[in-house]
A = this chain, B = another copy of it.
Amino acid sequence: MEAKPGDIVEVVTKDENLKGTLMPSATGSIVVKLDSGYNVGIDQKNVKEIKILETLKTEKSPEYKMPEAKGLSTIVILHTGGTIASKVDYKTGAVVAKFTPEDIVKSIPELRNIANFKSVLVSNLQSESMRFGHYNLIAEAIVRELEHKPKGIIITHGTDTLHYTSAALSFMLENIDLPVILVGAQRSSDRGSSDAAINLISAARFIANTDFKGVAICMHASTNDDKCVILPGTKARKMHTSRRDAFKAINATPFAEVDYETGKVNWINKNFYRPFASFKLMPIDEKVKVGIIKTHTHTQPEDIAYFGNHKGLIVEGTGLGHSATTAFDEISKINEKSKAELAKIAKKGVVALTSQCIFGRVNMNVYSPQKELLDIGVIPGLDMTTETAFIKLAWLLSNYPVDEARKMMIQNLRGELVERTEFEEEI
């Protein structure tokens, strides 16, 4: 039997024997986490033998259903991994967590009064490893649950790309007729300061007690443990690396706040998604040629030309709707070459402009350089974040022809585009 990451092993080399937890390694060397907490990397050619002292206990079952309480609706929890599921990561140091789907539900007794829970393991990934293919896995898992008509679905997810996934599911689950709430945690569940339980309980209460439909995010409203916030799936973003209130609504208001003490839902904005026809799963093509370029003061024409064969490109510009594309003097002449490269891509595919600013709207009509971008076929990203615009573009190009995708980029499909609001000063 070959040793797997998470196993307790003894690695025998010609010089020494090392005991510890076998770690996943991408470099080809054998990495062992010693009891001291240190990781030791050993060149494979020096390893004589790896003895397995204790095999990793893996998931007993990928699916778990709690004993049912009468009169309560059912909520399905789809686990995808991340800090919220990293209870065991910290103990063993292993990234492949000994995580069983019932763990979280069992460890949070408050949940039992809110609903019946069914728990399904979809993946076990830190969210920085999530890719388009995972969105399809999650969406398919949701579709499988739909036939059982649950009250709603909670997706536990790492926080790094949670807003990418929430945007992806918003577009993919056309006419979804129930709430799909993504929940993450900034502190792992085995820590006293963990936000996992409060975020999960608040999401469950929101599902149980409201008629919300569509995709949203439930995370801490502030660094206090008193309230969670329900954020629109297409208009939110991780805005802090470590704070528990890292997720913020961008160019939008939260849908609601959930008071942890009282369980009360305070609506802020009831303008949520309403299905307009029958449900349809519209996947994202894992091979679609879309990319993001963050432009800056040293962007080279080659940087843009690299995307020459892309079907879609999001250009994160520097401000209201600019990107350096106009020559005003000798030095900035290079920007004109960049524009020429961009024009080539926009002619065949879809190029949309977003802003580094995150907050505010891309307006391509105020200054001449932006008008020149409009002239070469660049589409304004309006008030979408770079991430939402990117996911929307990937999804559009997976499901519609280029011409159609261009038009739909500036149409509001899932609440991703909001009319001018109090978030903007008039310009």
In the complex, the chain B residue whose C-beta lies closest to that of A332 is: B129
Are A356 and B238 touching (Cβ within 8 A)? Answer: yes
* CB-contact partner of A328 in B125, B335, B426, under 8 A: B125
**When A160-B318, A298-B394, A325-B26 are in contact, do A241 and B357 touch as well, CB less than 8 Å?**
yes
Asked if A223 is at the interface of the complex by the 8 Å CB criterion, the answer is yes
- CB neighbours (8 Å) of A361 from chain B are 241-242
Asked if A297 is at the interface of the complex by the 8 Å CB criterion, the answer is yes
What per-residue 1/0 map shows which CB atoms of A385-427 lie under 8 Å from chain B?
A: 0110010001000000000000000000000000000001111
In the complex, the chain B residue whose C-beta lies closest to that of A132 is: B298
CB distance from A326 to the nearest CB of B (A): 6
Copies in the complex: 2
**When A159-B319, A328-B96 are in contact, do A26 and B358 touch as well, CB less than 8 Å?**
no
Asked if A280 is at the interface of the complex by the 8 Å CB criterion, the answer is no
Asked if A254 is at the interface of the complex by the 8 Å CB criterion, the answer is no
Identify which of A10-18, A53-61, A174-182, A362-370 touches chain B. Answer: A362-370
Asked if A119 is at the interface of the complex by the 8 Å CB criterion, the answer is no
Bound complex: CA A327 to CA B296 (Å): 31
Asked if A231 is at the interface of the complex by the 8 Å CB criterion, the answer is no
* CB-contact partner of A424 in B39, B129, B243, B425, under 8 A: B243
- CB neighbours (8 Å) of A288 from chain B are 298
- Count chain A residues whose beta carbon lies closer than 8 angstroms to a beta carbon of B: 98
Asked if A72 is at the interface of the complex by the 8 Å CB criterion, the answer is no
Within A131-177, the residues touching B (CB, 8 Å) are 131-134, 137, 159-161, 164-165
Q: Name A's interface SS.
A: loop
CB distance from A13 to the nearest CB of B (A): 19
CB distance from A167 to the nearest CB of B (A): 10
Are A328 and B129 touching (Cβ within 8 A)? Answer: yes
Having A129-B335, A131-B331, A242-B427, one finds 7 other A-B pairs with CB under 8 Å, namely A96-B328, A129-B324, A129-B332, A239-B357, A239-B359, A242-B360, A291-B298
Sample of 19 A–B contacts (CB below 8 Å): A24-B368, A26-B326, A26-B372, A95-B328, A126-B369, A128-B317, A130-B324, A137-B331, A161-B318, A193-B426, A238-B318, A238-B356, A241-B320, A241-B360, A242-B320, A288-B298, A292-B294, A292-B296, A296-B387
